[in-house]
Amino acid sequence: MLHLILVGAALLSFLVYSYPCIKKQQKLALTDLARQSEESLRVIQKILRRLFRLSGSELTVIGRENIPDGAVLYVGNHRSYFDIVTLYPLFPKPTGFVAKKEMSTWATLADWMRLGNCVFMNRKDLKEGLKAILESVEKIKAGISLVIFPEGTRNTSEDIRELMPFHEGSMKIATKSGCPVIPVAITGTRDIFERQFPCIRPSKVTVEFGKPIYIRELSPEDRKYPGAYVRGKIIEMLNEEQIRRG
């Protein structure tokens, strides 16, 4: 319960007292968008790094060297709210998340998400979904990386290697922009919160970045279903992690 109180207090304090910082960043975005993206990234990374530390968890990162220069599309499995808390501080340059549309109404949190280059997607509306994909492509072309969880929701399976089908539409960001896809395998985050909700308990978390995948270089068959191909790569990485954990 102590970890829950510490994490909750830190997050609430940030959301309440960061309002002046939000206004400063919004004003900066009007004159120097690149600088605003960099500054907002550091602010968000700092608070999320603190939240992870207050959870008492340990983090192991594998494959940082696989992240190339330039914008990429990170594609990961989705286990927990702590996936974002864990991942965001690891990015070397401005990176946003593709998030569900409902989160755009979450007051101060949504403001920081916008400043952090997040794209809100309405998966129930094809027209709005296409608009979000085009917005994502523009961000990639502007040098901003994005993260997407193609399972569409948090996976509750007890087997870390059992992934839900990936929404193939999520790969259009990579196919339309030509950017590389970095598969991301996340383990241990569900043990922090969801498994013992409403408590927060320390966990050993591993994040592995796989080698870049260029959709246009895949075989004709794999190009038809790039989501399934990337899903297979992530499952391979999760299998390796399962072996490491014994």
pLDDT tens per residue, range 1-25: 788 999 999 999 999 999 999 999 9
Would you say residue 157 has pLDDT above 90? no
Q: What is the mean pLDDT of the chain?
A: 93
Would you say residue 246 has pLDDT above 80? no
User: In the prediction, which pLDDT does 110 show?
Assistant: 94
Q: How far apart are CA 112 and CA 245, in angstroms?
A: 36
Question: Strand, helix or coil at 187?
Answer: strand
Alpha helices in 142-171 (DSSP H): none
Read off the pLDDT of residues 33-63 as tens digits, 9 standing for 90 and up: 999 999 999 999 999 999 999 999 999 999 9
User: In the prediction, which pLDDT does 125 show?
Assistant: 78
- 169 versus 208: which is more confidently predicted? 208
Beta strands at 181-187 and 204-209: parallel, antiparallel or unpaired: antiparallel
Query: Could you tell me the pLDDT band of residue 201, with boundaries at 50, 70 and 90?
Result: very high
**Half-sphere exposure in the Cβ direction for 9 (13 Å, CA):** 8
Q: With pLDDT > 70 as the criterion, what percentage of the chain qualifies?
A: 100
How many Cβ atoms sit within 10 Å of the Cβ of residue 100?
14
User: In the prediction, which pLDDT does 128 show?
Assistant: 84
User: In the prediction, which pLDDT does 153 show?
Assistant: 87
User: In the prediction, which pLDDT does 230 show?
Assistant: 97
Cβ burial of 92 (10 Å; 0-12, 13-18, 19+) is: exposed
Instruction: Residue 143: name the closest of 209, 68, 77 by CA.
Output: 68
The two structure tokens encoding residue 70? 């330039």
Beta strands at 73-76 and 145-148: parallel, antiparallel or unpaired: parallel
Read off the pLDDT of residues 74-107 as tens digits, 9 standing for 90 and up: 999 999 999 999 999 999 899 999 998 889 888 8
User: In the prediction, which pLDDT does 208 show?
Assistant: 98
pTM of the model: 0.94
